[in-house]
Amino acid sequence: MGQGMTGGGWTDAEIEALLPELREIRHDLHQHPELGFEEHRTQARVRGWLETHGYAPRDCAGTGLVAELHPEGPGHDAGRCIALRADLDCLPIHESTPLPYRSVHEGRAHKCGHDGHTTILMGVAALLARHRDRVPGRVRLLFQPAEEGVDGGGAKVMVAEGALDGVDEVYGLHNWPPFPHGELRVTAGATMAQTRELAITVTGKGGHGSQPQACRDPIVAAAHLVTALQTVVSRGLGSDGGAVVSVCRFAAGHANNVIPDRAELAGTVRSFDPAVDQRVVERIEEIVRGIAATFGVELELSLGQGYPVLMNHEHCASAVQRVGERVVGPSRVSATGLPIAGGEDFAYFTQAVPGAYFFLGAGRAGEDTPGCHHPDFDFDDALIPIGIRMFLGLVEDRLGAAR
């Protein structure tokens, strides 16, 4: 893009001029990560920035913030309103990556890039405020806590507290290292998966390891259960699959000569369609009953409901594609690799109002770029201006910001 207007009055030169300060903010947020619904320092940092730029932010979902450009619509007849969202929280992961701004908190780290997403939206807020008279509608900024699966997700709480009242459309983004750097991925329809938490307790009869005939071994039953669960998708669904069932934890026993009386399995179930989810649940229940009868053990199954399927609305996904083609070029915008089997509570936003969620590729050519949730992940600061241009471009596209 050139150095002229990018839409709405803001220029590429203005975006570039903000970057040194935004990088400092991003590194500061990275160095002081906070878990879901504990983002007090992060909230204060964002609040100070918003107030400096003329906003009147209000608390939402405890440690989140909502701020609006033209909250009363002066001279703009209230007009349409679009919302832009960033997530604030970190992960419960130890950071050993040798960064000059590495986490100062043991067991907490920004290993998903929410520090970068927050910084992007702070940059957008500054530029919108600078050119507020050129935006003929309302832009609501959502700084959301607790995306990482805490108590059902912060988005659900924000919706319940009215964060989307009066909003016509909502947009969010995520960096994604598996996609090539600077490429944009978006699709209409299912974009990220419905999630379930799988938990199974196997109760048998313990005893001495030398006397298995006197026991009902929960480890053997649980081992067969792990194997059988692999058939839920491969033999329970058609060639197109559409689901993931993964056992991620197996715990049993404490001694090498004692058969325990209990084993525990835990994992995750992901799908993109309610009918597929129902079929998966039915097959898991059938397998659990069969294993219990075969090995003479008791099985307790829990399939807790997590985030719903994140559904992009067609006209919103089309808007992201249009803007993306202007920002990164038509050849670098596609739906390749979507949907993703990860879960995202942005789904609650697009259940409430039309919206779209999109991905900015972060994978460096010739490098094995660590993915999100990897211990060595770090958000790529080069994505900050791309994210800013995308959000500002959506303001222009959806509200008709003056050139």
Does residue 5 surpass a pLDDT of 60? Answer: no
Mind listing the pLDDT tens digit for each residue in 346-355? Answer: 999 999 999 9
- Reply yes or no on whether the pLDDT at 4 is more than 90: no
- Per-residue pLDDT of 162-190, as tens digits, reads 999 999 999 999 999 999 999 999 999 99
In order of start, what are the domains of the chain with their CATH numbers? 12-192+309-399 (3.40.630.10), 194-305 (3.30.70.360)
Residues of the chain above pLDDT 70, percent: 95
What percentage of the chain has pLDDT greater than the value 90?
90
Q: Which two tokens stand for residue 49?
A: 């920035």
Rounded Cα gap, residues 307 and 335, in angstroms: 22
pTM of the model as a whole? 0.92
Mean model confidence pLDDT for the chain = 94
pLDDT score recorded for residue 402: 53
Strand order from edge to edge, sheet including 243-252: 243-252, 262-271, 194-203, 298-305
pLDDT at 78: 60
- The band of 150, judged by pLDDT with boundaries at 50, 70 and 90, is confident
| 403 confidence band (pLDDT: 50, 70, 90) | very low
pLDDT band per the 50, 70, 90 thresholds, residue 375 = very high
pLDDT band at 149 (very low <50, low <70, confident <90, very high): confident
